[in-house]
Chains A and B, each alone.
Chain A
Amino acid sequence: MAKVSPINAQAHANTKIKQDPGFAHSQGQHLIPIVVHEFAPASQDTPIVFIKDSETGRFMAMSLVGLKPGENVLVGEQWKGTYIPQVLRNYPLVVAKGKEEGQAILCLHQDSPLISETEGEALFDENGEQTQWCKKMAEQVISSVEQNQITQGYVQYLAEKQLIAPQTLNMNISGEQYSLNGLYVINEQALNDLADETLLEMKKLGYLMPTYAALLSQQRVHNLARIKTA
């Protein structure tokens, strides 16, 4: 597990954060966690899938960025998608839960190659105050936490209504066979068979758009194949 430590004015007085337009730190991840608010833009590039957390059995929403475990076809000198998931943009900043209920602490992935003393955006100014950039990032990271909770509720709802079903992804690209297990996708049939009152409930909850976005995004697997072979 990557080490994270809370940021503070003393320890990080000279710390700067570099930008990496290629998001190389996500190399080796074929799944990138996303929040429901990102379904519309993310669905333009990649399939949106769900996986179960092996510790809790709960579903998580993911952008599928590779065709085999450990492969991310969007990483490059420049990110090869039109949309960059929030979790990548937040990196190396992250929020950890504090000891008190509801407390959130802004932390840093200590081992990140984006941390520098010479290049990039400073976290603190010469007076030991958080920079504008740092404040903006903090807001963004904290809002991701809230969006994560909303996403949890949404995904749980999909599971309860049995709107997601397991799907093995099989592809043959230039004679090579690819197979990915443990993925779940929106079940079109179940969605079509929904009772009127459930459909109305989903409309009121704002769940229809992301659900259809996720359904349509299944076609984007061809987009990944195209980028991979380009």
Chain B
Amino acid sequence: MTRAINDVLIVGGGTAGWLSAAVLAKQLSGQQGINITLVESPNVPILGVGEGTWPNLRATLKKVGIDESEFMRECDATFKQGAEFINFAKTPESGKSDGYYHPLNTVFHSSYEFNLASYWLLDKDKRQQRYDLAVATQAHVCQSGLAPKKITTPAFAAVQEYSYHLNANKFADFLMRHCTQKLGVKHIKADVNKVNLDSSGYVESVETANAEYPKITADFFVDCSGGKAIIIEQAMDIGWRNINDVIFNDTAVAMQVPYQDPERPISSHTLVTAQEAGWIWDINLFNRRGVGHVYSSKYTSDDRAEALLREYIGPEAEGLAARKINMRLGYRDKFWHKNCVAIGMSAGFVEPLEASAIYLYDAAANMIADQFPRNFDNLAYVERKFNNNFKMRMERTIEFIKLHYCISQRRDSQYWIDNCDAKSIPENLLWRLEHWKTHPPTKYDFDFAWEPFNLDSYLYVLYGMHFQTDLSANASAFPHEKMATRMFSDIEKLSAKLTRELPSQRDLLKKVYEFGFSPV
């Protein structure tokens, strides 16, 4: 009889580790005999800079039984409705900026059903208005600093699609308590200092520095040990594919900026502002901002990067410490190998531009839980499916992030010149861009059900970046002008209604923190 898989050991306790623990424990604890244990170092602090998330996290939090209001209160969380990209398309002239929203919404505009982009491209009058503002109510809601729902909207339900900005350290701690107190996850604090493989190369056990747990055996291992990649790299020697030739940013400098004005408006989208050799993120939590500069060490110096960050923040940055973070960009040749799967930085990291990191952890944990192999004979099939799926997700994430740089008209620094060099652009993306010069992107450009970035996302970025699609030779293929005009007008009316009715982000947060959302 084949060996059963009953004991799961997660190595590492950051966001990736605890999110995986929560998803696996919630979904598998009903199955007989499955035990989830998480071992984390009492000495290594978690990286804890991932503060932006995607709506799939909302679904996961609901699924694992978390109370949304309690989660928000304990993690200083705020609502996130997308990101605003500023100065990516053009070199900024003094006093002017050029920007666009990439909203999360597909509630009121889904290009999948009826693609408004072609009609926007063909209509000279409509093109006076920005694409995002023409097609998405949420762009207007973001612009007005409003929340995505009301206090009377039930927990986890949305008026406009949303995710969260959160304090990553507090989030890991919150998930830890939920996992250990409500989901029966066993928590061991110990430094793993050795990984034992059996004669066929499967992980057999880990050894720790904690005298109480000198050796922990398990049937299945999840490597969430971050950049150290204790199992997948150090023990199993799985290779790492660098992507520095495509994505140049490899360093970040981050600061936490408390609100000096307690009534300062709280943005409900991430502000992303392009710089000469990178970009600055600005995330508004309930009690402070998280602001950081992501840059390429090849094109600028640490001092210059920090100076630009301080200049962006202004007087509020005085006296505040900055923290430097080195980022290793790339992904594993295999994420899953035999009885070990890597989730988190141990598996791969693109760069934080579209906040895809926590999304990928969440997606990985859910896919493992849904396909969990109950014995060793089942491993090979799931391993292959998982590896193919996540390779595609990584590649598509890299392409989508590259899109934000490679169609820019900025030529003010070598960084932007090199980013637009065709040699640095993945072939699949080059091919698509060529096609999109004379055709609008359509649903047929997306092959997989699990593509991390869908048609709407591409449209927001392409036309936010002033990408030129010339439809003049093919205008007759778009005869539904009347319907398009009606939809543009509906979006305008609905935007006006929403901006009238939705509360400000800060007003809603105060109520959520005080009263909480009702489950119905």
Residues of A within 8 A of B (CB): 52-59, 159-160, 162, 164-166, 184
Cβ of A54 and Cβ of B520 under 8 Å apart? no
* B515 closest partner in A (C-beta): A56
Q: How far is the CB of B43 from chain A (nearest CB, A)?
A: 40
One of A57, A162, A165 near B152 (C-beta < 8 A): A57
Query: Nearest Cβ in chain B — how far from A70, in angstroms?
Result: 20
B122 interface contact, C-beta 8 A: no
Q: Which residues of B contact A54 (CB under 8 A)?
A: 150-152
Verify if B42 is at the interface (C-beta below 8 Å from A): no
Collect the chain B residues with CB atoms within 8 Å of residue A160's CB. 519
Q: Mark B483-520, 1 if CB is under 8 A from A, else 0.
A: 00000000000000000000000000001001111111
Q: Please, which residues of chain B bring their CB within 8 A of the CB of A184?
A: 520
> Which residues on A sit within 8 Å (CB–CB) of B150?
54, 57
Contact (A159, B520) CB under 8 Å given A55-B511, A57-B515 = yes
Q: Which residues of A contact B517 (CB under 8 A)?
A: 57
Of listed B151, B152, B511, B519, residue having the most chain A CB within 10 A: B152
**Interface residue SS majority, chain B:** loop
Q: With A159-B519, A162-B520 given, name 5 new contacts (CB 8 A).
A: A53-B152, A56-B511, A57-B153, A57-B518, A164-B520
In the complex, what's the smallest C-beta–C-beta distance from A35 to chain B, in angstroms? 19
Total chain B interface residues with beta-carbon distance under 8 A: 12
Interface positions of B from 146 to 166, Cβ below 8 Å from A: 150-153
Q: Can you list 14 A-B contacts with CB-CB less than 8 angstroms, sorted by A residue number?
A: A54-B150, A54-B151, A54-B152, A55-B151, A56-B151, A56-B514, A57-B151, A57-B511, A57-B518, A59-B518, A159-B518, A162-B520, A166-B520, A184-B520
What distance in Å separates the Cβ of A98 from its nearest Cβ neighbour in chain B? 21
CB distance from B509 to the nearest CB of A (A): 13
Cα-based distance from A102 to B514 in the complex (angstroms):
20
Residues of A within 8 A of B153 (CB): 57
Q: Mark B211-225, 1 if CB is under 8 A from A, else 0.
A: 000000000000000
Q: Specify the chain A residue showing the minimal Cβ separation from B517.
A: A57
A residues near B519, Cβ cutoff 8 Å: 159-160, 162
Q: For B511, what are the chain A residues with a Cβ–Cβ distance below 8 Å?
A: 55-57
Cα of A36 to Cα of B520 in the assembled complex, Å: 20
Contacts of B516 in A (CB 8 A): 57
- How far is it, in angstroms, between the C-alpha of A34 and the C-alpha of B48 when the chains are bound? 49
Please indicate the chain A residues that have their CB under 8 angstroms from the CB of B152 in the complex.
52-54, 57
CA distance A160 to B70 in the complex (A): 14
Bound-state Cα–Cα, A108 to B270, Å: 50
